A and B are shown apart, each in its own frame.
Chain A
Amino acid sequence: MSEMATTTDILVDIQNLSVTFNAGKKPVRAVDGVNLRVTSGEVIALIGESGSGKSVTLRSILKLHPPRRTVMQGSINVAGRDVLQMSADELDAFRGNDVSMIFQEPLLALDPVYTVGDQIIEAILRHEKISRAQAKARALALFERVRIPSPERRLNAYPHEMSGGMRQRAMISLALASHPKLLLADEPTTALDATVQIQILLLLRELQRELGLSVIFVTHDIGAAVEVADRIAVMYAGRIVEEGPVRSIIRDPAHPYTKALLRSVAHGSFAKGTRLETIAGSPPDLANLPPGCSFADRCGEVTDQCREIDPKEVWLNKQHRARCIRLVPVN
């Protein structure tokens, strides 16, 4: 895709999103001016470490934060409607309908006292007026689509009776029950074994192809992101510091943080005995962000100006942007 997506293609348009939590002594700005667009049928991965704001951004799309302690600014347009302006009733209808979410730990998302089949059927019936028997047939079809073996038997299983990978598939099928256009995935494969993780990642790619599903995939694992995403957005201290097609990010990373992250992933290509490149220090305290670039203290390419100027986004080409004052925009 070399031209900018037309407005009809854009499914999610997040503009200038800021999320501040007021729970502790000082307000914490977990997300600071995030702009992100997801087109139909596209998978975008949000990568970052703890405290980067990736999960907070994701949960903002469904407005899942406790209303009293959270201040959200900006706009989140999903299929033309601004989530942040929705009333409580509109939110209820919106959640689980056009947009579904899957989590890291299925046991927390699935109700332990109902069979998985019952939960899916209930989810279907909540959004569609069909008979229970029809809903059950749909549930069976969903199980087959997510490649659960012996699906009729498994519909009657309880969550704790299933293995980890199976539960994750069940959770995905629950999320698909309402024919969503957008799937939000919060570290869905982090807790899974390697051989199971790759199966789930491939399943997500398959669903993207077959259903035209858009996915926002939050993870700290770059490898998983590369397997599944069309675009990658790297977050640090509440901001997107770099975003672009997956090839550009991996082959030509622009932001020092992205470069350092790619280098510090222990890779087989490292010679034994050489030291791993590290990023000195640790993630910043979001309640006490220093002026200027929040990565300055840990950056290998830092200059004095970095600590004074707040870096703006720089477009390196039509699809790849990064937030660093040392970058020169390419026209």
Chain B
Amino acid sequence: MLNITVDPSKVPAPIFERSPGYWENVAKRFTRDPVAIGAAVVILLLLFMALFGQWIAPMDAYKTSIMTRLKPIGFEGHPLGTDELGRDMLTRLIVGAKLSLFIGITPVIIAFIIGSVVGITAGFMGGWINSIIMRTIDVFYAFPSVLLAIALSGVLGAGITNSLISLTIVFIPPIARVAESVTTQIRSRDFVEAARASGANALTIVRVHVLGNVLGPIFVYSTSLIAVSMILASGLSFLGLGVKPPEPEWGLMLNTLRTAIYVQPWIAALPGVMIFITSIAFNMLSDSLRSAMEIKD
């Protein structure tokens, strides 16, 4: 019989058998935050618009009408007025959610994947591999994002696919930097040393020990980039480097309504309002997520 030093039944511990994991705690804190809930609701609405826009929109997004151009808000049959070609603004704003969100979110998702792989590899391997990777990243990071996006788009040409590519490239360096930084911190922790001491190879250690601890912070940082991405995408469209008319996309709409600013300023501002709402919602979501994840453990 083993002579156990401490009687296990005397060791103080509550009786329940499963304790909430880290992510369950995060979810709990997140759902208690009213700002987080508000932001999540707004984003869900926007996503709904993006997915089902063409079915819920009242009118045809492409139907022009010379007679009803630049009608103000509250005009009969056009609750939010019409644009410079007579198309219904409400419809175009709703349908435009699809492209705008797509161009805004997709580059961040792809950059998250690529940036994480690059950053975690650099952070975990250290040494000269780290130097090569990170210094290359730094070259791109040195460019202001707007200029870089424009330059890349200029090289690649206009169009949705090319804007996606150039925006993805813009976001890989900052995400990679965050990934490398967090990975380097985790790598020096004793539990990673312990995993090495047990004979695990690098890939196993990264999979089991590193990923679970670094993906969270990287993800939170990436969500904060969505707002930036939306604005950059709109900017590219505004400059004619992104979406081509007559596709409804908020940035492009800002461009084409530019001249209407003296005639119908409220109409001209509407696409900007949508961009504003979307970026605020994503920023709030990202902030709340970060707070929820800062559990004192």
Contacts and interface: CB of A to CB of B under 8 A. Distances in A.
Interface in A260-284: 278, 280-282
A159 to B, nearest CB: 24
Interface stretch (B3-11, B92-100, B114-122): B3-11
B21 interface: no
B5 A281 contact: no
A278 B11 contact: no
- How big is the B interface, by class? under 10
B12 A278 contact: no
A141 B10 CA distance: 56
Contacts of A278: 5-6
A280 B9 CA distance: 12
A282 B12 contact: yes
A280 B11 CA distance: 9
B7 A280 contact: yes
A220 to B, nearest CB: 20
A85 to B, nearest CB: 34
Interface in B1-47: 5-7, 10-12
Contacts of A280: 6-7, 10
Interface in A103-119: none
A278 B10 CA distance: 14
Contacts of A282: 11-12
Nearest to A298: B10
A280 B12 CA distance: 11
A278 B4 CA distance: 13
Contacts of B10: 280-281
Nearest to B7: A280
Contacts of B12: 281-282, 285
Contacts of A281: 6, 10-12
A156 to B, nearest CB: 33
Nearest to A283: B12
B3 to A, nearest CB: 9
Nearest to B5: A278
B182 to A, nearest CB: 25
B212 to A, nearest CB: 27
A251 B46 CA distance: 76
A280 B7 CA distance: 8
Nearest to B6: A280
B12 to A, nearest CB: 7
B44 to A, nearest CB: 32
Interface in B111-163: none
A297 to B, nearest CB: 8
A277 B46 CA distance: 66
B32 to A, nearest CB: 14
B9 to A, nearest CB: 11
A285 B12 CA distance: 10
A289 to B, nearest CB: 13
A60 B6 CA distance: 36
Contacts of B5: 278
A272 B5 CA distance: 17
A278 B12 CA distance: 16
Interface centre among A278, A280, A285 (most CB of B within 10 A): A280
A218 B12 CA distance: 27
Contacts of A285: 12
Contacts of B6: 278, 280-281
B11 to A, nearest CB: 7
B7 to A, nearest CB: 7
B207 to A, nearest CB: 35
A281 B6 CA distance: 8
A281 B7 CA distance: 9
B85 to A, nearest CB: 60
A183 B6 CA distance: 40
A123 to B, nearest CB: 34
Interface string B219-252: 0000000000000000000000000000000000
A21 to B, nearest CB: 15
Contacts of B11: 281-282
B87 to A, nearest CB: 56
Interface in B80-97: none
Interface in A267-313: 278, 280-282, 285
Contacts of B7: 280
B230 to A, nearest CB: 39
12 contacts: A278-B5, A278-B6, A280-B6, A280-B7, A280-B10, A281-B6, A281-B10, A281-B11, A281-B12, A282-B11, A282-B12, A285-B12
Interface of A: 278, 280-282, 285
Given A278-B6, A280-B6, 5 more contacts: A278-B5, A280-B10, A281-B6, A281-B11, A285-B12
- 4 closest A-B pairs by beta carbon, nearest first, are A281-B10, A280-B10, A280-B6, A282-B12
